[in-house]
Structure 1
Amino acid sequence: MKVEQTLAGIKARKHYFSVPLDYQQSPSQQITLFAREIVSIENQHKALPYLVFFQGGPGFGAARPIANSGWIKRALQEYRVLLLDQRGTGLSTPINSIALSHLSASQQAEYLCHFRADNIIRDAELIRTKLCNDEPWTILGQSFGGFCVLHYLSAAPQGIKEAYITGGLPSLTRNADDVYQATYLRVMAKNNDFFARFTDARKLADDLAKYLYDNKVYLATGEQLTVEMLQLLGINLGMEQGPEAVYYLIEQALIETAQGVEVNPLFLHQFSQFLDYNTNPIFALLHESIYCQQNASKWSAHRVRDQYPQFHYKVNKPLLFTGEMIYPWMFTQFEQLKPLAAAADLLAAKKDWPQLYNLEQLANNTVPVAAAIYSEDMFVEMQYSLETTKQVANLKYWLTSEYEHNGIRMDGEYILDKLIQLNRGQCLR
């Protein structure tokens, strides 16, 4: 069935594909993948090449475009864009506690093992052969999407004409512990910036933490709002406009009533919208595994946190927000993660994750690659990204302090244009 839509300046078409759950097994269970193809209205009848977009995450569906704007506007000048819902996300056989409820914990863990970058790229290659007559296409990866791009360059470079990466140039060799040791320092710096910038935020955060420590407070979802859960708001400190959003949220958290200080119901309603763990469980289940190659994460962020005890909350001590870290206690506090706790433990203990990067192939890479590295990125350590630039041939990079991790969302048209110019050896403006 051919399904098309007209958006503001865009024609969109839906695609569904049947792919193997396990490409190493034949026959294999099949899963369904969804991708939305978009093209500008003025170019809809032209035979343009494809650009496929790999979303950040892991565990988030591709953007649902509203209008011809941002990075999409620049891309649609010369491409048809394919917005791929990576397996397990969006409309691509989505993973959640309900979908996995018929499986045992060990079966859940085995099933989830097939949802890393390696199989995302196998999916992309299968789709490419169907849509492009086996011609190479252009790829763009944001955040975790950049991890996917590097695996693509390692495993199937023949499928790529050009590659672009924004905010997602990972280390090729460092393990999860290395990553989190650097990340905690980055998060600490973001905390310092936040509390220096909003001078009453320290008191607001500490008062709220103390209240949650002394009282049982429940969100609209029925979950108890704990201090640890409050600290997770720090993931937003690494985004453009994120610190402002966090500040305005905690600013209205506690209110004076005739009964004394209470938690504002508006705050409780808005709080859940700041965290995605209930709605996007892959992010919690597989996040640490994106760093694993023939080793286990063993709840890395949780263990490394002990090296930075200032992140452990104690009454009458300053509260620090955490960042993009996954902790085992999350599977006892978030309602939609609770049924997956045993599977999460099995995944954290898994030692035989396949290699993601072929260092020899990348050292001899011939595909033009352009990457934006954000020097202030809280999520991807700049020094590790710079290490990678020396290990991947034919890679050019733009190092800038102008943007946070989600720069492409804020100024995508300019960023993608700059990377295209960089890749093609044109003058940069």
Structure 2
Amino acid sequence: MDGKVEVEWDEETVDKMVAVLRSTLDHRAMLDLERRARSGTGTEEKGRHHHHHCHDDAADEDDASDDEGHHGHDHQHHHHQHHHHHHHHTCKKGPDDGVGQLLDEVCGDDGLRDMVVLVMERTAEIFENVRRKAAQEEGAVMDEETAIGVQKEILKEALIRQILQTVNAKIRSAQSLESREGGLLATPGGYRGSDLDRLRSETIHSLMRTGFAVQDGFMGGQEYTEVYREVEMLEYASTFNQVYQQQLSGTRSDDMGWFSFADIDRIQHKHLWGVFEVLSSLPFELNKKANLYLQMSSTFQLACYHAKGTFYKRHIDGGYDAKTNNGRKITAIYYPNPQDWTESDGGALRIYGPRRNPYGRSKGGSTPPDGDGSEADDDTPAIQDILPKGDRLVLFRSRDMPHEVLLCHRKRFAVSLWLPGPPGPGDDWQT
């Protein structure tokens, strides 16, 4: 997200806007943010733990000191607020709480300053959509007061999402730097869910030997039709963002959103929740059956390709060198679309032959001695077109397999999870 949209704001405006963001992050917003950020990281307890004593003393102190602040002059009040913001809601609990520490950094003044333009633009854009929708559907024009209320809500949500996105990106890059740190490793013994037996042996074999695999009937039964309905509900609720950056450069034209368990409702999105649960068990199962050193992951991407020739050009999800290694090792995609999907509907996932990687067994070939060969192999031939049929799971090696989504002529959803892991273990599959 290197905001391509260059808006020049002067320092004073930026300061004012940062103050607005700061005041948006009140106690309740911070609790919500912390709950969502910790969800799926194994540190959920830390979030809950803290809030009890927080409410007892901090809430009262907050009220008291706020009153004094108001009588003083405003300027002081601001400083005062910074302070007590930091005093009262520190997310970091204990020396080894990486998630809490990241939250504190990203919510600090510098962190907010970095995202202020983006958040304000996103807020304006969503507000515009909401206003337009209201006008179209109810023919209603919002009065000033309603508009301000709505804007505040949108700002809070946009800010929390941007913080979550930043924190998740930082967690992902921390994972990629030190992918072998214990703790994050998906150790099969540590898995508390169902049996680790969702993948057929031929699926694992194909992934290890050819770099990709397709398994049909993954969840079983008609469940996928419900998943489709639930994802569509989320899409209508406009929780997906168009992928601005890449739209500008013509790489992709789908809409997508990042979701963790905390972003969906266990009852309302029961079937999608089930898919999330099974997908998050995959690193444990793959580690049990193949030596990949995968880590836990619980940030999912939901993508919607509209039936208007939407696409995602040839690209690769990860890489081996310092520049391209984002930690992603295995890409898992689940399709909840109708099963009568045909070639003429488009939207196939086209898998290309693997790029050479530095761990290949024949050390010759096109791999330059110091790079990872990625630049050299942008022309590997297409191997297979996979239709996005209902209840189909696709797995492929993120660092090795270029792929694209062909022009789509029918509404197509995809649920993706990237499983992080270090380059090396299990990567010597290319002959």
Same fold (TM over 0.5): no
TM-score by length of 2: 0.23
TM-score by length of 1: 0.24
